Structure 1
Amino acid sequence: MSQKTFRRIVTGHDADGKAIVVSDAPPVRAQLVGGPGGPTFFEVWHTLETPAQIHAQPSDSDETGLVLPPPKNATRIRVIEFPPEGEEIRQLTGSDAAEKFRAMGDERASTSAAGAPHPLMHRTQTVDYGIVLEGEMTLVLDRAETTIYPGDIVIQNGTNHAWANRSDKLCRMAFVLIDGEFALS
């Protein structure tokens, strides 16, 4: 069921200040979350601050585990491959869901509760751009849901949500996560 691996091309500058390719390879960190039937996260890149520091020879950070949100005042880009959702996801309890988010480095993101529209509802204090690359995905919100297709882009503004792959094919999405804070009313 695995899709063609994608490349991560990182650019930089040589000693003369000319633009070069620093690396061209598949992402170096991939993690299956929740065991068989769970999504695979490909950690592509993240910045540590805004404005981002632009280095002549950028390199990966020393981050080793999966961390759901970006660093404070920073950004993260990842690709996630979601297999078709099975009954094991739909039957998750609140504590099961919290464990899934613990595996993603942010147990506090889980908002799973009795009567929720999906057991993997969650919320982060971020603005996220989600882009469907392949397949289709249903975005589940508290009071709405919509199916998105290749080329569609979701701008997620700190909303409570879940992703449900209700198709029979893998869905690959790219996400750009930007640290944020909720505005006071």
Structure 2
Amino acid sequence: MSNPGQISPLPPVTRHITGHNAAGKAIVQSSTPGDWKSYEESQMAFNVVYTTSQFPADLNQDADIATHDKVQQSGKLGLVNPKGTVCRIVDFAPNNKCVVHRTQSLDYGIVLEGQVEMMVEEGDPVRMQRGDIAIQRATMHGWRNPSETEWARMVFVLQDCQPLTVAGVEMKEELGIATGVLNPSGNDQ
């Protein structure tokens, strides 16, 4: 592994944040390596790339950056950031344990490396290839890397959503076997 703190052998990730200089010209304000956290006995690793806490985001005087830093330092971020967004990279070990869960959110999940199976409650798993995108709409779902030897990587953008009611039942967050491991999002109160 070439990146300290990274769990998987996949290439390191660098986050580049842009902004403006005093003359109003676009600049790269910062470039920082990924900050990884291991879960499920190193079968999964999360790197929260960025969060917003309101929509639309307020970029004036770098308010969004300050708010992101505050959210990260709180240590309380769940999978979803209430009233905002989360951009997260997830690395999956070969044959990882599938964590079936539901978030109250609209998520875009994009396969960057390897193959990932998307599991839902009904029907066969859907095998996703590099470049495939899942639009996850507050459903029970899980992600599994079917490879025996290679790690897989996805990027997710999670967006808080209005409460969803289906067949008279409100679809609240359910963390499954990750309950007590992951912080609850708190956006389904």
Same fold (TM over 0.5): yes
Q: How does 1:94-109 map to 2 (within 5 A)?
A: none
Deviation at 1:2, TM superposition (A): 1.0
Aligned 8 A contact 1:74 1:178 in 2? yes
1:54 aligns with 2:50: no
Q: CA–CA distance in 2 between the matches of 1:123 and 1:70? A: 11
Equivalent of 2:23 in 8, 11, 16: 16
Change in 2 beyond 3 A, CA 1:55/1:35? farther
Q: CA–CA distance in 2 between the matches of 1:172 and 1:70? A: 19
Q: CA–CA distance in 2 between the matches of 1:157 and 1:39? A: 22
1:68 aligns with 2:78: yes
Q: Residues 100-153 of structure 1: CA distance to partner in whole angstroms, max 9, x if unpaired?
A: xxxxxxxxxxxxxxxxxx6x2110100000000000000000012200000000
Q: Residues 31-56 of structure 1: CA distance to partner in whole angstroms, max 9, x if unpaired?
A: 001223x2010110000101101135
Q: Which residue of 2 is the match for residue 179 of structure 1? A: 160
Show structure 2 runs of 5+ residues with no match: 1-7, 167-189
Structure 1 segments (4+ residues) deviating >6 Å: none
Letter in 1 for 2:154: M
Q: How does 1:80-159 map to 2 (within 5 A)?
A: 80-85=90-95, 89=97, 120-144=99-123, 145-159=125-139
1:162 aligns with 2:142: yes
Letter in 2 for 1:9: H
Change in 2 beyond 3 A, CA 1:67/1:85? farther
Deviation at 1:182, TM superposition (A): 3.0
TM-score scaled by structure 2?
Answer: 0.74
Deviation at 1:72, TM superposition (A): 1.4
Deviation at 1:66, TM superposition (A): 6.6
Aligned 8 A contact 2:104 2:164 in 1? no
Q: Residues 7-61 of structure 1: CA distance to partner in whole angstroms, max 9, x if unpaired?
A: 211001111221110112222x21001223x201011000010110113543541
Aligned 8 A contact 1:12 1:55 in 2? no
Show structure 1 runs of 5+ residues with no match: 90-117
Q: CA–CA distance in 1 between the matches of 2:165 and 2:88? A: 29
Q: Which residue of 2 is the match for residue 79 of structure 1? A: 89
1:41 aligns with 2:41: no
Question: How large is the RMSD of aligned CA atoms in angstroms?
Answer: 1.8
Letter in 2 for 1:121: V
Percent sequence identity is 33
Q: CA–CA distance in 2 between the matches of 1:4 and 1:55? A: 33
SS of the residue corresponding to residue 151 of structure 1 reads coil
Letter in 2 for 1:142: E
SS of the residue corresponding to residue 61 of structure 1 reads helix
Equivalent of 1:25 in 32, 41, 48: 32
Q: CA–CA distance in 2 between the matches of 1:164 and 1:21? A: 35
Deviation at 1:69, TM superposition (A): 2.5
